[in-house]
Amino acid sequence: MIILSIIVIFIYIFLLNLFKSDESIRILFSDVSSLLIEIGVVIYLIYAAKYSAIMGRRVKIAWLLFALAAFSYFLGDVIWTLLEIVLNSTPFPSVADIFYLAFYPIFALAIYYLPRTPLKKNEEFKLFMDMLIITLTVGLIFLIFLIMPAFEMNSEIFESIISVAYVIGDLILLFALVRLMFLSFKDVSLGPLLFIGLGIFVQIISDCIYSFQSTHGTYVSGGLLDAGWVISFILIGLAAFLQIKHVKYGYDPFIKYPIPIKINFPTYIPIILVILTYSVIIWANENQMISNFFYAEVGGGIIILLILIRQAFTINENRNLYISAKNEISQREKIEKNLIKSRKHFKKIFDNSPIGIFHSSIEGKFIEVNKALADMLKYESPEELISLVNRDNISNIYVDKGKRSRIIEEAQKDSLWHFYENDFYSKDGSIMTSELSFRLVRDDKDIPKYLEGFIVDITERKKAENYMKNSLKEKELLLKEIHHRVKNNLQIITSMLDLQKYFVDQEETINILTESQNRVKSMATIHEMLYQSTDLININFSDYIYNLVSELCYTYSLKYKIKPIIDVGEIFLNIETAIPCGLIINELVSNSLKYAFPDHREGVIKIELKEEDGELTLKVSDNGIGFPEDLDYKDVKTSLGLKLVNMLIDQIDGTIDLDRSKGTEFIIKFRELEYKKRF
């Protein structure tokens, strides 16, 4: 697009020179080609506003105002062409000037609408003063060379006012251009701003030449000066083109070049402007550019006053900055002293710590170690350890080379502390088991610098732990053996009771022996489950109940007539609670098997065990003939079984209730007894 624009400009200038001998053709070509270029720029600006809507309302409004300003200028050129070519009348001054002059404030307003980065109050004030000083200085030059001569050399007061209005419009554009140079804008790329600024600059230069030529009567319509306005519009069109590309594709060819948008003028600029102002006034006075110097002197005085205010503000600001810098230096010196003191303190702790402390490279090579670590690894000094491991590679002191690679790789992922149990070779070849903890340290830019960590010798502690583990394992085996022998002894008792039944004839005696045998079996089963379990404290009570009830049904030869239903969750009980609870179930289920189903009728025995809020509820029920009404289940004289049940319930601090509404249902509530630790 830039190359195409250059070609268009060269063709335009070439054709102007080609037609310079024929005034009518030259004017026609200049006016018509300008209109075509201007309407093309207006279209581009409208498209730029359309695509810029996604960047915010202010950006869209700014580009719409650019388009409106360009369209206003286009309308002025349309009227100028009609007056000059069609009506053969003088286009200046005319209605066209209204649209031309509207271009300047609208275009400046568009620049104002571009979203900018907020500034602090003091920065805003300095910015305003700088913009005002520059604008008034240029305005003073315009006053001397353009405005005053326009009034003195032109007898038509209306034409003089219109000429001065263009100069004021240029000052408005200049103020907008300075704003564009001084501020940082957001949501607008560098390319469009650059071309808008160039377009304004070319427009101001062209207008100044036009005003000068108009004042001196040397302006020629369709001359080379018209190329200045064409170039200005082409530059603005390029700005619109780049804005469209930036919004659609994120394209900005100037972003890689260090071209600053915000310009911070040095403090000596006001002095240069003072010299420039005086030089212009003196030169104009000596060359008698204007007869009345009152306005020039007033303008120069205002500029000098503004510069003095600006300099006073700068001096005050510099004084505050100096005081702040002095305080900051003082504070920094204090911090540095504290830092030196802190480093000495840290060094003292580092050297005298009983724990091994180290700093190492990212690859894991020791950079700094304390004496404790050197002593742990049996080296004479920290320097010997560092020189040795860095010469022979630090991996030589790692027993597990693969583990070293893994933990270093893991540490490089983040800056968290990592903890490992690690084995190191000491200087004499012995192995030191240690707890290794370290982390990655990064700088302010988040770049990895080194590793820092601690090493604690736990060789003796590991030996003690291994001894304790072996000892505990032996005790567990011994405890299992005890449970096994208790179970065997109980089995011997049940076998003896079983043999005893063959030497008695009375049925009552046989029943007593069978009941005693079942009670012993219920206790033996618990010891057997503890022997087989990995947990020597608790047993799975659901499995126990199932085994117990199955054994009882088999004992009373009712295995296929009585259907046991066991509804027990995954409940674990310690041995203190399990044995009395098992005996209770044994007695209640035995009673149901003996008395609830006379004549060998079929039935159901249900055992439920639930836990809620630490309280256990045991329900033993059957659908047999029911518990006799005249029998008190809490009367210890009723039977040995019920007497035993009540004693066991007292032992586990529980309560018992009987429900006779549907067969027989005993409801027992209790809590698990606290386990008494034996070792």
pLDDT, tens digit (0-9, with 9 covering 90-100), for 347-384:
888 888 888 888 888 777 888 888 888 888 888 888 88
Cα angle vertex 672, ends 666, 675, to 5°?
A: 145
pLDDT value of residue 150? 63
Q: Could you tell me which of 44, 15, 386 has the C-alpha nearest to residue 226?
A: 15
Residue with tokens 């491991």: 389
Other beta carbons within 10 angstroms of residue 10's beta carbon come to 11
Does residue 108 contact residue 65 with C-beta atoms inside 8 Å?
no
Q: Token match 């004549």: residue?
A: 599
Query: In 3D, which of 114, 107, 136 has the Cα closest to residue 261?
Result: 114
pTM: 0.47
Distance of CA 245 to the CA centre of its chain: 31
Asked if 157 and 92 touch (Cβ cutoff 8 Å), the reply is no
Output the CA–CA distances (angstroms, integers) from residue 303 to 122, 170, 281, in the order listed.
20, 19, 12
- The ranges of the chain with pLDDT < 50 are 257-264, 393, 636, 677-679
Q: Report the number of secondary-structure helices (H) and strands (E) in the chain.
A: 19, 12
- Residue 634, φ and ψ in degrees, nearest 5: -95, -5
Partners of 608 in the beta sheet?
Answer: 567, 619
* DSSP H helices in 434-572: 459-500, 507-532, 541-555
Contact between residue 38 and residue 70 where contact means Cβ atoms under 8 Å apart = yes
Q: Does domain 537-679 have CATH number 3.30.565.10?
A: yes
Of the candidates 215, 210, 249, the one whose C-alpha atom is nearest the C-alpha of residue 226 is 210
- Residue 536: the pLDDT is 52
pLDDT tens profile 116-161? 776 677 777 777 777 777 777 777 776 666 666 665 666 566 667 7
CATH homologous superfamily for the domain 353-457:
PAS domain (3.30.450.20)
Q: Alpha carbon of 381 to those of 24, 226, 360, 377, 545: distances in Å? A: 101, 87, 17, 10, 68
Tell me what pLDDT residue 257 has. Answer: 46
Cα(330)–Cα(198) distance, integer angstroms: 47
Task: Tell me what pLDDT residue 641 has.
Answer: 72
Give the sheet arrangement for strand 418-425, strand by strand: 366-369, 356-360, 448-457, 431-442, 418-425
